Structure 1
Amino acid sequence: MSAIIIFITHPLWIIAIIFFANLIAAIWTVFREKRDIATTWAWLLVLTLLPIIGFTLYLFAGRKISNEQIFSMKKEQQEQITKLANEQKSLWNKHSLIPSEKTTDTGRALIHFFLESEDAFITQDNQVEIFTDGKEKFESLLRDIKNAKHHIHIEYYSFIADDIGNKILKALEEAAARGVEVRVLYDLFGSHGTTYKFFKHLEELGGYAQAFISASKALISTPRLNYHDHRKLVIIDGNIGYIGGFNIGDQYLGKSKKFGYWRDTHLRIKGFALFEMQARFSMDWNTTCRKTKKPRLDISTKEYMPIASNEQAHGSTRIQIVSSGPDSERQSIKRGYQYIIANAKDYVYIQTPYLIPDDSVLEALIISAKAGTDVRIMIPCMPDHIFVYRATQFYAKYLVENGVKVYQYDNGFLHAKTVVSDDHISSVGSANMDFRSFKLNFEGNAFCYDDKLSKDLKAIFLKDLDNCTELTTEFFDNQSSWLKFKQYFSRLLSPTL
Structure 2
Amino acid sequence: MDVYSILISLLFILNFFFAIIIIFLEQKDATSTWAWLMVLFFIPFLGFILYLIFGQNMSRKRLFDWEDIKKIGIEGLIQEQITSLREQRFHFSDPDSRDYRDLIYMHLVNNDALLTENNKVDIFTDGKEKFDQLIKDIENATDHIHLQYYIIRHDHLGARLLSALTKKAREGIRVRVLYDEMGSRKLSKNAFSSLKKASGEVEIFFPRRIPFINLRLNYRNHRKIVVIDGKTGYLGGFNVGDEYLGLNPRFGYWRDTHLRMSGQVVKALQTRFILDWNQATHHHYIHYEDRLFPALEAAGDMAAQIVSSGPDSEWEQIKNGYIKMITGAKDSIYIQTPYFIPDQSLMDALRIAALSGKDVRIMIPDKPDHPFVYWATYSHIGELLKAGANVYIYKNGFIHAKTIVVDGKVCSVGTANIDVRSFRLNFEVNAFLYHRPTAERMALTFQNDMEYSREMTLDDYRKRSLWIRFKESISHLLSPIL
Deviations 1:469-489, CA, capped at 9 Å, x for gaps: 111122122211121111111
Aligned to 1:379: 364
Which residue is 2:410 aligned to?
425
CA apart distance, 1:403: 1.4
2:337 aligned residue = 352
The 1-side partners of 2:390 and 2:422 are apart by 22
2:348 to 345, 351, 363: 363
- Preserved contact between residue 233 and residue 266 of structure 2 (Cα < 8 Å): yes
Asked if residue 311 in structure 1 is aligned to residue 310 in structure 2, the reply is no
Q: Show the counterpart of 1:166.
A: 159
- Relative to the length of structure 2, the TM-score reads 0.93
Quote the residue 1:83 is aligned against. 71
Which secondary structure does the structure 2 equivalent of 1:215 belong to?
coil
Residues in 2 aligned to 1:38 and 1:89: alpha-carbon distance in whole angstroms: 39
Moved more, 99-108 or 434-443: 99-108
Unmatched tracts of structure 2, length 5 or more: none
Pick which of 102-111 and 274-283 moved more: 102-111
What percent of counterpart residues are identical?
44
C-alpha spacing 1:406/1:89, structure 2 compared with 1 (3 Å): closer
Kept in 2, the 8 Å contact 1:196–1:210? The answer is no
Paired residue for 1:190?
A: 183
Match of 1:246 in 2: 238
Q: Which position in structure 2 is the counterpart of 1:409?
A: 394
The AA in structure 2 aligned to 1:225 is: L
* Conserved 8 A contact 1:63-1:224: no
The range that moved more, 236-245 or 217-226, is: 217-226
Query: Normalising by the residue count of structure 1, what TM-score does the alignment of the two structures yield?
Result: 0.90
Equivalent in 380, 391, 399 of residue 384 of structure 2: 399
In structure 2, the partner of 1:3 is: none
Whole-angstrom CA distance in 1 between matches of 2:116 and 2:298: 14
Deviation, 1:221, is: 8.4
Q: Aligned AA for 2:330?
A: K
Residue from 214, 229, 245 that aligns with 2:221: 229
Preserved contact between residue 62 and residue 224 of structure 1 (Cα < 8 Å):
no
SS at match of 2:324: helix
Deviation per residue, 1:83-133 (Å, 9 max, x gap):
33369869989xx87543423343221111111110110012111100000
Counterpart contact for 2:72–2:293, Cα < 8 Å: no
Question: Is 1:40 aligned to residue 40 of structure 2?
Answer: no
Aligned-partner SS, 2:119: strand
Paired residue for 2:286, among 297, 300, 315?
297
Which residue does the alignment assign to 1:127?
Answer: 120
Mapping of residues 87-126 of structure 1, within 5 Å: 98-104=90-96, 105-126=98-119
Name which of 473, 476, 481 aligns with 1:488.
473
Can you give the 5+ residue segments of structure 1 that lack an aligned partner in the other structure? 1-5
Distance 1:312 1:66, change over 3 A: closer
1:207 alignment counterpart? 200
Q: Which residue of 2 aligns with 1:179?
A: 172
Q: 1:61 aligns with which of 51, 54, 58?
A: 54
Amino acid at match of 1:253: L
Q: Counterpart in 2 of 1:335?
A: 320
Encode CA deviations 1:256-279: one digit per residue, 9 max, x unaligned: 111111000001011110000000
What secondary structure is seen at the aligned counterpart in 1 of 2:157? helix
CA distance in structure 2 between the aligned counterparts of 1:245 and 1:485, rounded to whole angstroms: 31
Deviations 1:19-45 (A, max 9, x none): 633531430342222222212221222
Which whole-Å deviations, capped at 9, do the CAs of 1:126-164 have from their partners, x for residues lacking one?
111000000000100010011111000011110111110
How far is the alpha carbon of 1:363 from its aligned partner?
A: 0.3
CA drift at 1:71: 3.1
Tell me the number of residue pairs that the alignment of Structure 1 and Structure 2 aligns: 474
Give the Cα separation in 2 of the matches to 1:328 and 1:493: 24
**Aligned equivalents of 2:218, 2:414: Cα separation in 1:** 20
